[in-house]
Amino acid sequence: MRTVRSSCALLTALLIAAPAAAQDVAIRNATVLTIANGTLENATVLIRDGKIAAVGTDVTVPQGVQVIDGTGKYVMPGIIDAHSHMAIEGGINEGSESVTPEVILPVRDDDLTIYRALAGGVTSALLLHGSANTIGGQGAVIKMRWGKPADSLYFEGAHRIVKFALGENVTRASSNAPDSLRRFPKSRMGVEQTLRWWFSQAQEYDREWAEYRERARRDRNAIPPRRDLRLEALADIMRGDIKVHAHSYRGDEILMLMRVAEDFGFRIHTFQHVLEGYKVADELAKHGAMASTFADNWGYKVEAQDAIPHNMALMSSRGVVVSVNSDSGERVRRLYQEAAIGMKYGGMSETEALKMITLNPAKQLGVDHLVGTIEVGKQADIAIFSAHPFAPEAHVEMTLVDGKVYFDRSQAMTLRKLIEQRNITTTTEDDR
């Protein structure tokens, strides 16, 4: 029985892993939540060569274009998850040292979470290291091209992103147990000094290279400094070539990191979790940092005790660009429900709430010129819902990436029937 069942799972994966060939598509007669230009009723979205070619109520669908009937359905930009640990090969923490910006996450293509995320309308995600290190390493922005090899998942044009982390998780990496690793830093104070020490080193390194380049113009025999990939990455961070996404909880540590970055001439691009961001919202806005948070996740550790669901609305109302992320292979499947929580607590508007899973995370990943709204010229990453995505009766009908259907609920339902039949017919006496 088990063999049969597992081969069914494989069959599911294979069938679903074969998206429709590149073809022009029109979604007709749907309610379109454009994010950029309001909500359009009875509208058509025309997709050509994987991009949005036309949006509106008076779009003519050319012959030969595959039509998806959108009657009664809601169409929105594909959901973007700005904090995920899916599709990562091996562990997510390089736990040996606390500062490892040279480490780069390897992407894998066979994580079922990609498919389940698609089934929740998700089309892109930022894959990040864990939070054991002050500076954990470089992440990856992917599209949910389920079934394609790992190399094809990378989202071209996205930022280079490095994960920082503050607070309990970083300091917890050392414990007092006799056999466990003892590692600096062990306090929030130590985290600040770790950052200052390493960025001072990187400044020095950068200066040595600048001096060398200057010398080399006159002296062909000038000897270059020894290359150091770690310091090189830190220098890239200071230049803004790698954007910082910082795991953070408390207001004090968020403020500390902004001040450290300012002292070294760079900016924290996005704070992750940032559960007490509402306490320093004005400072975040002034620094120019964005925020990617949980909708309503609190009380699981001391630094999450002051997390409130009004965080999104409060930060947003003071000018911070806010997204809602999953940080979980479970929540990623229902981010549309998480975003609705922004309306419940603190009174966000519907569009602001929808932006938290579309345009705002796109900005945080550096892909807002490519995706995040339904606008002509953007890549056709689209989710089709059975009802308004915030309504209790909503589920995802179809998810398109680059204009191709990667998830189709009707197909999934057919497969479910097949699998259920198989399970029942093969559950015979010898299995019991």
Partner 1 sequence: MRAAAIVMAALVAATSGASAQAFPGQEGTFVIRGATVWTGTGQTLENANIVIRDGRIEAVGPNATAQGATEIDARGKFVYPGLIDAYTPLGLAEIGGIATMNLRSELGEFNPHMRAVVAVNVDSDMMAITRANGVTSVITAPSGGVISGQAALLNTAGWTWEDMAVRPTAAYIINYPREAGFGFGFGGGGGNPAAQRAARERFREQVQELETVLRTAKAYDQQRTAGSEEIDLMYEALRPLMQGRAPALVSADTEDQIRAAVELGREYGIRVIINGGDEAWKVRDLLAQNDVPVVLGSIQSNPPQDAPYDAIFAQPGVLYEAGVKFAFSTGGAANARHVPFHAALAVGFGLPKEAALRALTIWPAEMFGAADQIGTIEPGKLANLFVTSGDPLDIRSQVSEVFIKGRRVPMDDRHTRLYEKYNARPGGS
Q: Cβ closer to partner 1: 346 or 366?
A: 346
Coil vs helix vs strand at 260: helix
Q: What residue ranges bind partner 1 (CB under 8 A)?
A: 2-3, 5-6, 8-9, 112, 115-116, 119, 278-279, 281-282, 285, 296-302, 305-306, 308-310, 313-314, 317-319, 329-331, 333-334, 337, 340-341, 343-349, 386-387, 390-395, 412, 415-416, 419, 423
Q: In the bound complex, what is the minimum distance in angstroms from residue 301's beta carbon to partner 1?
A: 4
Residue 227 tokens, joined = 């290359």
Please identify, using beta-carbon distances, which residue of 66 and 414 lies nearer to partner 1.
414
One-letter identity of residue 271: F
**Could you tell me the smallest distance in angstroms from the CB atom of residue 198 to partner 1?**
28
Cβ 344 to partner 1, closest distance in Å? 5
Beta-bridge partners for 25: 47, 66
Token pair 């992440």 is found at 139
CA distances from 45 to 33, 48, 70, 268, 384 (A): 11, 10, 10, 36, 11
198 vs 278 by CB, closer to partner 1: 278
Minimum distance of partner 1 from residue 165's CB (angstroms): 16
Of 80 and 353, CB closest to partner 1: 353
Shortest reach from residue 324's CB to partner 1, in Å:
12
Smallest distance, Å, CB 425 to partner 1?
13
- DSSP classification of residue 378: S
Cβ-Cβ contacts under 8 Å for 110 (sequence gap 6 or more)? none
CB-wise, 237 or 307, nearer to partner 1?
307
* 104 vs 285 by CB, closer to partner 1: 285
**How many whole angstroms separate alpha carbon 48 and alpha carbon 24?**
5
Of 49 and 110, which has the nearer Cβ to partner 1? Answer: 110
State the minimum distance, in angstroms, from the CB of residue 2 to partner 1: 4
Strands (E), 73-182: 74-77, 79-84, 122-127, 135-138, 140-143, 160-165
**Residues linked to residue 242 through DSSP beta bridges, in sequence order:** 160
What residues have CB less than 8 Å from 100, skipping those under 6 apart? 94, 133, 135, 136, 137, 230
Q: Which is nearer to partner 1, 10 or 210 (CB)?
A: 10
**By C-alpha distance, which of 32, 45, 35, 41 is closest to 74?**
32
- The residue among 55, 34, 36 whose CA lies nearest residue 46 is 55
CB nearer to partner 1: pick between 213 and 286: 286
Residue closer to partner 1 by CB (options 233, 312) is 312
Half-sphere exposure in the Cβ direction for 373 (13 Å, CA): 19
Q: Which residue type sits at 5?
A: R
* Exposure letters 251-281 (e unless 16+ CB within 10 A, then b): bebbbbbbebbeebebebbbbbbbbbbbbbb
Cβ 135 to partner 1 shortest distance, Å: 24
Rounded to an integer, what is the distance from CA 103 to the centroid of its chain?
A: 19
Q: Which two tokens stand for residue 30?
A: 């749907």
Helix (H) or strand (E) holding 152: none
Amino acid in the structure at residue 151: D
Judge contact between 329 and 116, C-beta under 8 A.
yes
Nearest distance in Å: CB 174, partner 1:
17
CB of 265 or CB of 319, closer to partner 1:
319
- Contact, 293 vs 322, CB < 8 A? yes
Q: What is the smallest separation between the CB atom of 317 and partner 1, expressed in angstroms? A: 5
What is the smallest separation between the CB atom of 258 and partner 1, expressed in angstroms?
A: 16
